[in-house]
Amino acid sequence: MRKTDATNPPARNVDEYLAGVPKEARAALEKLRKTIKAAAPMASEGISYQMPMYKHHGMLVGFAAFKNHCSLFPGPAVMERHQQELKRYDTSKGTIRFPVDQPPPAALVKKLVKARIEENEARAARRSSSPSGVKKRSVP
């Protein structure tokens, strides 16, 4: 992960984040960035939880570099729906981990991003159709 300390403050944008990542991981994450931007041109790009994050009606996806791998964070629901395509990756709830030299194929990343867009837009539509504009939660 990008080191953050007194001499290296947290990244303020994705370019700064990538500049602080080792070269091999940077190449993989730059490919991810390009693929995400192509799949979600309307998404805003920023830093959240000290990592690159893309938002459109809420979080779409994020990514990060770590010591021995990189990760893509598309969220658990999308991963569950695409679990067969993700079998070859080390995964946990909402996270896909991969070696820096073996990023997921662009077609798979685009599929996951587009699924997140659909998920977020459907949630936004439900919220806007409720009488108060806020989704009501039931309390157990």
Q: What is the pLDDT of residues 9-58, one digit of tens each?
A: 889 999 999 999 999 999 999 999 999 999 999 999 999 999 999 999 99
CATH of the domain at 52: 3.90.1150.200
Q: What is the DSSP letter of 104?
A: P
pLDDT of 89 above 60:
yes
Segment 64-83, tens digit of pLDDT: 999 999 999 999 999 999 99
Q: Is residue 87 part of a domain?
A: yes
Question: Is 101 a residue whose pLDDT tops 80?
Answer: yes
| pLDDT of 9 | 81
- Give the pLDDT mean for 90-102: 94
Inform me whether the pLDDT recorded for 124 exceeds 70. Answer: yes
Taking all residues of the chain, what is their mean pLDDT, rounded to a whole number?
89
pLDDT of residue 110: 97
Residue 5 lies in a domain: no
Total count of domains within the chain: 1
Assess if residue 138 is contained within a domain. Answer: no
Is residue 52 domain-resident? yes
- Asked if 87 and 54 count as a contact pair (C-beta separation under 8 A), the reply is no
**139: pLDDT confidence band, cut at 50, 70 and 90?**
low
Residues spanned by the domain of 70: 14-123
Number of helices (H), then strands (E), in the chain: 4, 6
DSSP-derived secondary structure for 9-44:
PPPSSHHHHHHTS-HHHHHHHHHHHHHHHHH-TTSE
